[in-house]
Amino acid sequence: MELSTDQRWDLVERISKQTVEVGKYKATLKDALADLTVRPAIGIPFAIAVIYGFWTFFCEFAGTLFTDGFFVKIFDGYWLPWLQNVFAGAPTWVFNVFVGDPLATNCFEAFGVLSSGLFLAIGVVLPAIVAFYLIFAILEDVGYMPRLAVLVDGLLHKIGLHGYAVVPTMLSLGCNVPGVTACRPLDTRKQRFLAIALLSVFVPCGAQIGIMQGMIPGLIGWVFLALVIGYFAVGWVLNKIVPGESPEILMDVPPYQAPTARNVWTKLWTRVWRFLKVAVPFVLLGCLIVNVLYMTGAMDAIASALSPVITGVFGLPEETASAMVAGFLRKDLAVGTIGMLAAGGMTITLFQVFTAVVLLSIYFPCLATFALMIKELNWKQTLGALATLIVVVFVFGAILHLIGSSGIGSSAWVPLE
């Protein structure tokens, strides 16, 4: 006998009364904290405190403890003298390529493949990546990331995204490659394009942040402010001109829980190992290419070709063309190249350093990220992302040059050692 709809609901009610036991809910401290951290009045200050703690740990762990306290002493006190001794009898070009400046007293100024290249990759970038992914894995395991997504959902809707986009954005602060991959769960082509275009242009990777923290600690806050402004301004414009829908999303917000050591370690190891496989070869290759370009005179030709843009539009020294070349391979190497050039005698003002770092951040995604963009987007979207990048670079460069012309930050910049 077939039951009507009302009869089915009556049957469900009778069964539920016999099987479901109703108890009294008792809220715990964990439940209260879970509820409060998704409410803007409490959640936003809490998020600011989390990010501040995140940044403090990042700077102290990566910069002070490991880079300055350990790796600088190892590389400058033992590794560089050992390299200079081993390659002492080698032909000049071999010494210059692999060791660098024979008069250099530290790896930062040497600019050789095995001196500066390994120092940047292992001594500066690796501690930054480990610090970032460690805290990110803990926040994931605790269950905080979905709550952060809920908090920023309304803001991200202004640029055509929803709260989940905070996950690939945060991941990109470690490395843009997993950040681009994490855009796959976004619902529409428009949202995936917006997220990939914005994070590949305006979100610096952990390696680049580590270099900036060691090279320009006093300017890094201003660099992030410029990138955040660009992220939302360009996102708002793209949301208006890119066709497609930006639907809402329903997200599961799990309860808070204690992080599991095994989960945190697995995530940390997987992400750090993936970074090492991609980053270290490209950093070494970048140093090799830049050195060869200098030795063959090709860098002078490139600098002359780019001079109208570098000096005329951006207001930067002509020598920074080598950093632009290095940026095609790794942005962290490109930023480090500016410091090496300044240490080698290039005259550059404080505001020019700020301009150069901002432009290198938005100038072109690193080769690994660009290759993944081609895979994740169709050819029209890839061309659209590149067109966005070109327009943004020239607009930002012209605006910063105009601001710099007022005389702000005109004092000469001296790189930290």
For the stretch 212-265, pLDDT in tens is: 877 788 888 899 999 999 999 999 998 988 888 777 766 777 788 888 999 999
CA dist 396 and 398 (Å) reads 6
For residue 14, being part of any structural domain is answered with no
For residue 6, being part of any structural domain is answered with no
User: What average pLDDT does the segment 166-192 reach?
Assistant: 82
For residue 344, being part of any structural domain is answered with yes
Cα–Cα nearest to 333, from 244, 207, 218 = 207
Is the confidence at residue 402, as pLDDT, over 80? yes
* Cα–Cα distance list, 311 to 162, 305, 307, 412 (Å): 39, 11, 6, 17
pLDDT-based confidence at 82, cuts 50/70/90?
Answer: very high
Instruction: Report how many domains make up the chain.
Output: 1
Cα–Cα nearest to 125, from 209, 56, 221, 201 = 209
HSE, side-chain direction, 13 A CA sphere, residue 350: 13
- Run of H or E including 355: helix 350-363
Residue 412's SS3 state is strand
Residue 129's pLDDT is 81
Cα–Cα nearest to 338, from 319, 351, 359, 361 = 319
CA dihedral 256, 259, 264, 265 (to 10 degrees): -170
Give the list of residues 6+ apart from residue 125 with CB closer than 8 angstroms, or none: 206, 207, 210, 211, 279, 283, 332
* Cα–Cα distance list, 396 to 113, 354, 404, 406 (Å): 32, 12, 12, 16
Cα–Cα nearest to 283, from 106, 62, 107, 101 = 107
The answer to whether 11 and 2 are in contact (CB under 8 A) is no
Burial-class residue 123 by CB neighbours within 10 Å (0-12, 13-18, 19+).
Answer: buried
Place of tokens 């952990």: 206
For residue 202, being part of any structural domain is answered with yes
CA dist 359 and 339 (Å) reads 15
pLDDT-based confidence at 329, cuts 50/70/90?
Answer: low
- Run of H or E including 19: helix 5-19
For residue 31, being part of any structural domain is answered with no
Give the list of residues 6+ apart from residue 326 with CB closer than 8 angstroms, or none: 286, 289, 290, 333, 334, 337
For residue 410, being part of any structural domain is answered with no
pLDDT-based confidence at 266, cuts 50/70/90?
Answer: very high
Per-residue pLDDT tens over the stretch 280-323: 787 788 778 878 887 887 877 877 787 788 888 888 888 888 77
- State the residue range of the domain holding 366: 39-404
The answer to whether 315 and 349 are in contact (CB under 8 A) is no
Per-residue pLDDT tens over the stretch 355-381: 888 888 887 777 667 777 777 788 888
Give the list of residues 6+ apart from residue 397 with CB closer than 8 angstroms, or none: 313, 314, 315, 355, 359
For residue 95, being part of any structural domain is answered with yes
**Top mean-pLDDT range of 198-202, 223-227, 274-278, 321-325:** 223-227
CA dist 192 and 183 (Å) reads 6
Backbone angles phi, psi at 349, to 5 degrees: -85, 170
Lowest mean pLDDT among 35-44, 126-135, 320-329: 320-329
Residue 1's pLDDT is 61
Cα–Cα nearest to 237, from 286, 198, 189 = 198
Residue 79's pLDDT is 92
For residue 356, being part of any structural domain is answered with yes
